[in-house]
Amino acid sequence: MPRDSDPKRSVADLHIDDPVELEITRNSLVGICEEMGVAMLRTSYSTMFNEARDFSCVVFDARGEMIAQGDFCPAHIGAIVHTVEWAIKEVGPENMHPGDVILHNDPYRGGCHLPEFMTLKPCFYEGEVVAYAANIAHMTDIGGMVPAAFGDTRNIFQEGLRLPPIKIYQDDEPVEDIFAIITSNVRTPKVSRGDLMAMVGSTYLAERRIVGLVERLGVERFRQLSGQIKDVSEVLMRQALDRLPDGAYTAEGFLEDDGVIPDRPWKIRATVVIRGDEVIVDYTGSDPQAAGAINQSFGTTASATYAGIFHMIDNQIPWNHGAYRPIAIVAPPGSIVNVNYPGSCVGGNSDTYPTTVDILLAAFAQASDRSSAADGGTCGLLGFYGTNIDTGEPFVILHHEGMGWGGRRDADGNDAQIVKNGNCLNAPCEVWETRYPVRLDEYSIAEGGAGAGAYRGGHGVQRIWTCLSPITVSAHLNRTTNRAWGLHGGSEGGTTALLFRRAGETEWRTAREMFDTISDGKFSNVVLEIGDQILLRTPGGGGYGDPSERDPALVLEDVRDLLLEPEEAREMYGVAVNVAAGRVELVESDQRRTANGAAE
């Protein structure tokens, strides 16, 4: 991020002439972002928009610096500060006119990965740009070799359509040539165009609201308040960082494979350097970029870095450009955290990102007790492609699933929650069964797999689909072998299971066993027939703290909820549970825990 201001350690260093007006203006801008999101939700076509809400909406000032965001998807919010800046510089403000909307999805130009399309609208008032309205949203299909994009791609050309910053609207009219190029390259043109129009429409809504705000305040006053909004966040961010102990804290973690080279783990290494009110995150020592799709673009790595740091901040800060100023990032080009063209990177923004955040939290755990154990670290991404039985039209749906988060200093990890970069919802069973040719046979909290600890990891999810027509399936997920790590004596979490069963058979098999894929979690275009089934079980998070210090009442509660077997309670926690009586046998439990402590 640009270091365009001197360090400010206290609010007293700022000139805030009217705090009330400042806060009203800031909240008005945040409200505009949230209204954009509601508009996209209600006018979109795909489940990625209207069910998952896999989009983010922001407002930037005339300098191209973010002044407001809605509470949407962290992966987008962190990257959009780079995506918008790049688009503005490449197109040039002097080449923008009223009625323009710019489209951009290039991961080598500050973007996340190809599915994340960004629309940017310059907002004019009395002939000058006073702000920019922008959003990033996940397009379900982008062409390429894999429906819904996620599989075992090996370069950017296999991933799909890549667009530099170009005008998709001019003079308030769609540039139909651009729309024709996009819809000719995707499997579901009607859905793709509908979602793009929802994105564009939300920027027009934002422009109306922004212009109305500028009319009330005046251009100069709006500019002054925009600057103060950023400066206040910078001060608060620097104060929060200054409370962390200075030092260099290093951690590393691994992805189990890239879908191309069998069973080859890939390392991400991060060193967090805290110096007073600034922080540097250095990824030197991470592996070279992979052959498969697990690589992160710089925009993705930057976003993961911001997310990891923001998780550690101990006070409420309005997130905008000012909060990013004290953060510097070193990401060596050509590494897994800064992919060089034409390397594949579609999985980096979805399933590599959460591991990167957990590595940063492991580093921060050396300096603060606010950190957490690792989470299940995978979205469980499955792409489904086929023909709708009722309409005869092709469909593409990308499924993502919740899993278990890591335990923390004062609470168990969350169950069945999307990864830290997502903040998304999955499609309800009713949506699946009414829109697509499948039947949901099970959707439940997965038993086992939660790392033991004084505060255990969260539980994952188990889901089973039955195909009602032939369906092509692709996958990109992690944790099939590498487990989420515990913290401060907590145990590892569980593993992902992706299994298949042919119609009439009783045995579940992995993708390697059934389809001869390189990886059990990353593959493209396997074909299932009517009656075939898919089972996805997502992993639990790591545990936090010594399991022998867990409250026996919480152990009993897990046994009652069928999340833990009585024998597991004895072995993992030293707690004897009388199931019939519904109580903990305190004397026996004390003896077990004392004996376990002596043995250690």
Per-residue model confidence (pLDDT) at position 3:
42
Residue 349 carries which DSSP code?
Answer: I
- Sheet-wide strand order for 327-330: 247-255, 266-275, 278-282, 327-330
358 membership: H or E segment, kind and range? helix 353-364
**Which runs of consecutive H residues, i.e. helices, occur in 163-315?**
176-183, 189-217, 219-242, 298-311
Give the span between the Cα atoms of 540 and 552, in whole angstroms: 20
pLDDT band at 600 (very low <50, low <70, confident <90, very high): low
Give the span between the Cα atoms of 93 and 145, in whole angstroms: 36
* CB-based burial label for 193 (10 Å; 0-12, 13-18, 19+): middle
What phi and psi, each to the nearest 5 degrees, are found at residue 398? -105, 120
What percent of the chain is modeled with pLDDT above 90?
Answer: 92
pLDDT band at 14 (very low <50, low <70, confident <90, very high): confident
Range of weakest confidence among 5-14, 24-33, 439-448: 5-14
Strands (E), 513-593: 522-528, 533-537, 577-578, 583-584
CB 592 within 8 A of CB 584: no
Nearest to 134 by CA among 121, 143, 146, 144: 121
pLDDT band at 9 (very low <50, low <70, confident <90, very high): low
589 membership: H or E segment, kind and range? helix 586-599
Per-residue model confidence (pLDDT) at position 599:
63
pTM for the full predicted model: 0.95
Range of weakest confidence among 22-31, 40-49, 396-405, 586-595: 586-595
What phi and psi, each to the nearest 5 degrees, are found at residue 101? -135, 130
Q: HSE (CB half, 13 Å, CA atoms) of 77?
A: 27
Give the span between the Cα atoms of 239 and 237, in whole angstroms: 5
pLDDT in tens, 314-333: 778 999 999 999 999 999 99
pLDDT in tens, 222-278: 999 999 999 999 999 999 999 999 999 999 999 999 999 999 999 999 999 999 999
Q: Are strands 278-282 and 327-330 parallel, antiparallel or unpaired?
A: parallel
Paired residues of 584 in beta bridges: 577
Give the span between the Cα atoms of 366 and 354, in whole angstroms: 19
Q: What is the mean pLDDT of the segment spanning 83-104? A: 97
For 146-182, give the secondary structure using H, E and C. Answer: CCCCCCCCCCHHHHCCCCCCEEEEECCEECHHHHHHH
Q: What is the mean pLDDT of the segment spanning 352-363? A: 97
CA angle 271–272–278, rounded 5-degree value? 145
Paired residues of 417 in beta bridges: 403
Nearest to 478 by CA among 440, 447, 433, 519: 519
pLDDT in tens, 449-499: 999 999 999 999 999 999 999 999 999 999 999 999 999 999 999 999 999
Structure tokens at 101: 């909307």
CB 209 within 8 A of CB 32: yes
Residues 6+ apart with CB under 8 A from 108: 156, 297, 341
Amino acid at residue number 298 = F
Question: Does residue 547 surpass a pLDDT of 80?
Answer: yes
Nearest to 54 by CA among 122, 119, 116: 116
Q: What is the mean pLDDT of the segment spanning 1-23? A: 69
pLDDT band at 10 (very low <50, low <70, confident <90, very high): low
Cis amide prior to 342 (ω within 30 degrees): yes
Q: What is the mean pLDDT of the segment spanning 503-530? A: 98
pLDDT in tens, 111-150: 999 999 999 999 999 999 999 999 999 999 999 999 999 9
Give the span between the Cα atoms of 40 and 599, in whole angstroms: 59
Distance of CA 352 to the CA centre of its chain: 9
Interhelix angle 74-91/298-311, rounded to 10 degrees, is 140
pLDDT band at 12 (very low <50, low <70, confident <90, very high): low
On average, the pLDDT of the chain sits at 95
Give the span between the Cα atoms of 222 and 215, in whole angstroms: 9
pLDDT band at 597 (very low <50, low <70, confident <90, very high): confident
What phi and psi, each to the nearest 5 degrees, are found at residue 469? -155, 170
Give the span between the Cα atoms of 228 and 304, in whole angstroms: 26
Amino acid at residue number 444 = S
Nearest to 185 by CA among 139, 135, 121, 120: 139
CB 34 within 8 A of CB 135: no
Nearest to 156 by CA among 299, 288, 351, 295: 295
CB 555 within 8 A of CB 564: yes
Q: What is the mean pLDDT of the segment spanning 366-395? A: 94
Per-residue model confidence (pLDDT) at position 77:
87
Q: Which residue has the tokens 């000139």?
A: 15
What's the maximum distance between 2 C-alpha atoms anywhere in the chain?
80
Of residues 589 and 3, the one with the higher pLDDT is 589
* Terminal-to-terminal C-alpha distance of the chain: 49
Give the span between the Cα atoms of 68 and 193, in whole angstroms: 27
CA-based R_g, the chain, Å: 25
Give the span between the Cα atoms of 431 and 315, in whole angstroms: 38
Per-residue model confidence (pLDDT) at position 269:
98
Give the span between the Cα atoms of 314 and 370, in whole angstroms: 8
What phi and psi, each to the nearest 5 degrees, are found at residue 113? -150, 170
CB 181 within 8 A of CB 105: no
Q: What is the mean pLDDT of the segment spanning 545-555? A: 96
